[in-house]
Amino acid sequence: MIFLRYENWRSYLRYYPVTCLIMAANIAMFIVLWLNGGSTNPATLVKFGAMVDFGPFATEQWRLFTAMFLHNGFNHLFSNSFAILVFAPPLERMLGHWRYALLYLGSGLVGNAISMGVYRLSSDPHISVGASGAVYGVYGAFLYIALFQRQLMDTSSRKTLYSLLMVGGVYSLLIPQINLAAHLGGLVGGFFIYGLIIRLLKRR
């Protein structure tokens, strides 16, 4: 079962440095938000890089990147952090550190770009933050592995992945505040980015 974590904290830091850096960035930005008006304050989120589809902020493309490291409230941070800490490490070991970083960030950018495109079809203003697009990119990479590289994933892990995707899909549809477009965009992005990485950036 590749999704069970057996490492102590020292081994975790040594084996998964990119995952640890991502977590550190998320926590650091949550503290910054907390010290500047709170992570649920829309003005604070916009100030520090949330995705926005109205006003002059809508054309600031850098927000597609910065929004990945912001979270709206502790529960939002906790749910994404749990997924990153538990499910992302095996992918970092499989791909190597920098290729994993490329997939994580690329999936997040794809998910955020697609969600912004969907938001612009609506007349309502939107502010969006979170690592969910990148997290679903990790799931998308594992879905590729489960379908086309079955020798790299045991049966229990495949069942766990399918269950995660089903529960995540239902949850995304039922909770209005969840950015469904970012989830789907990240999933598709991770699936195809992984396929490109293993072909174009072969690991030694």
Fill in the DSSP letter of residue 7: -
* Closest of 40, 38, 39, 66 to residue 52, by C-alpha: 66
Q: Among 76, 81, 107, 183, which one carries the catalytic annotation?
A: 183
Active site residue 157: no
At position 104, the amino acid (one-letter code) is Y
Show the tokens assigned to 183: 């989830």
Q: Compute the CA torsion angle 172, 24, 62, 108 (nearest 10 deg).
A: -40
Non-local CB neighbours of 16 within 8 Å, separated by 6+ positions? 88, 89, 92, 93
* Closest of 194, 94, 188, 186 to residue 131, by C-alpha: 186
The tens place of each residue's pLDDT in the chain, 204 residues long, gives 899 988 898 999 999 999 999 999 999 999 999 999 999 999 999 999 999 999 899 899 999 999 999 999 999 999 999 999 999 999 999 999 999 999 999 999 999 999 999 988 888 899 999 999 999 999 999 999 999 999 999 999 999 999 999 998 888 888 777 889 999 999 999 999 999 999 998 776
Q: Among 81, 115, 132, 157, which one carries the catalytic annotation?
A: 132
CB 140 within 8 A of CB 188: yes
CB 149 within 8 A of CB 88: no
CA–chain centroid gap for 166, Å, is: 17
What pLDDT does 172 receive?
Answer: 81
Could you give the CA distance from residue 103 to residue 88 in angstroms, rounded to a whole number?
Answer: 11
Active site residue 132: yes
Show the tokens assigned to 60: 């600031």
- How many Cβ atoms sit within 10 Å of the Cβ of residue 158? 17
